[in-house]
Every structure is written in C-alpha cells, then in structure tokens.
Amino acid sequence: MFLNKRKAIFLISVTALIFILNVNQVKSQTIKIVDGDTIHLNGEKIRFTGIDTPELKQTCIKDGVKDPCGVTAKQILIVKIANNSVECISEGKDRYKRTLAECFVNNESLSSYLVRSGYAFAYRKYSKKFVADEDYARVNKIGMWSMLFDYPWDYRKNND
C-alpha cells in the first residue's frame, strides 16, 4: 500500500509539472489590427509584404451605393485572426521602419487569404507571390472585384 501511494503521488506530481510547463510554453500575444495590411504584434509594427489593401477612408461603389471597402478589409482581418496566435516571417524593414513580413494564422497566410477574399491586391511592384490569388478573386468577382474601386496606390496618390 505504501509503494502504491508513493507511486500515485509521483505520477500526480509529474503530470502537474508537465501541465505547468505546457501552459507556460503558450505565448501570450498582444495584437492590434491597424488596417487591412498592418498589425502591431507585441508592440512591433508589421506591414504585410506582397499585398496592398484599401485605405481605411477608401470607399468603393457597389450597385450605386458607397461601400466602406477599407474598413471591410480591416474587419475581415480582425475576424480571421480572432483569438488565434499569429506567426510572422520577417523579410526586413521598410523606409518607415515597419517590419515587413508574411504572417500566418493556423499555417494559413493572411496575405493570401485577404487577396483571395477580394479585399487586398497583389502588390506587383514588390512581389508576384499573390498574383494567382488575385486572379482567383477577380475571375470570381469576389469582394472589391464585384465593385467599382480605385487601387489603393492610386487612391493614396490622389488623396494624400
């Protein structure tokens, strides 16, 4: 009986230790979604590479009605990230000192997701990586591809 009690206490202790170590391995993240292609992750400003989303003030026209497509792009990102952990692969810094990165939720590229959803564009000036995703959204008239819109880079040029 004494050995069985000792073994039980040992087993409970080992189990509790493993549980505590696993809980401590889960990283706590602080995330703020700035707009459709920029987040703050643990205080670091990250700009998604290879894509461009509409500006927050930017609107599109669908069936003669203004649509807040810039806000919608941000909202799609908020819903996609939800309470999930975000992992980013840094590709350097831009001229504004932001980290340029491709970020993932559950191993899915947020950039690819946004472009296929029709609320981001392949930023061909810097990368061709998401062109196939853009073609998919355009052909299927998904998101902004079902509306009249200005490309974000044209909108910035005309409204800055």
**27-153 classified as CATH 3.40.50.80:** no
Q: Are 128 and 159 in contact (CB under 8 A)?
A: no
For strands 31-35 and 44-48, give the pairing. unpaired
Tens-digit pLDDT profile for residues 3-19: 566 554 544 544 444 44
As given in the structure block, the two tokens for residue 145 are: 């591809």
Distance, in Å, from the CA atom of 82 to the CA atom of 1, rounded to the nearest integer, reads 51
156: exposed, middle or buried (Cβ count in 10 Å: 0-12, 13-18, 19+) = middle
Q: What is the pTM of this model?
A: 0.81
Distance, in Å, from the CA atom of 98 to the CA atom of 48, rounded to the nearest integer, reads 10
Tens-digit pLDDT profile for residues 26-78: 457 899 999 999 999 999 999 999 999 999 999 999 999 999 999 999 999 99
Tens-digit pLDDT profile for residues 79-125: 999 999 999 999 999 998 999 999 999 999 999 999 999 999 999 98
As given in the structure block, the two tokens for residue 117 are: 């959803």
Is the C-alpha dihedral spanning 102, 33, 37, 47 positive or negative?
negative
100: exposed, middle or buried (Cβ count in 10 Å: 0-12, 13-18, 19+) = middle
* Domain coordinates in residue numbering, the chain: 27-153
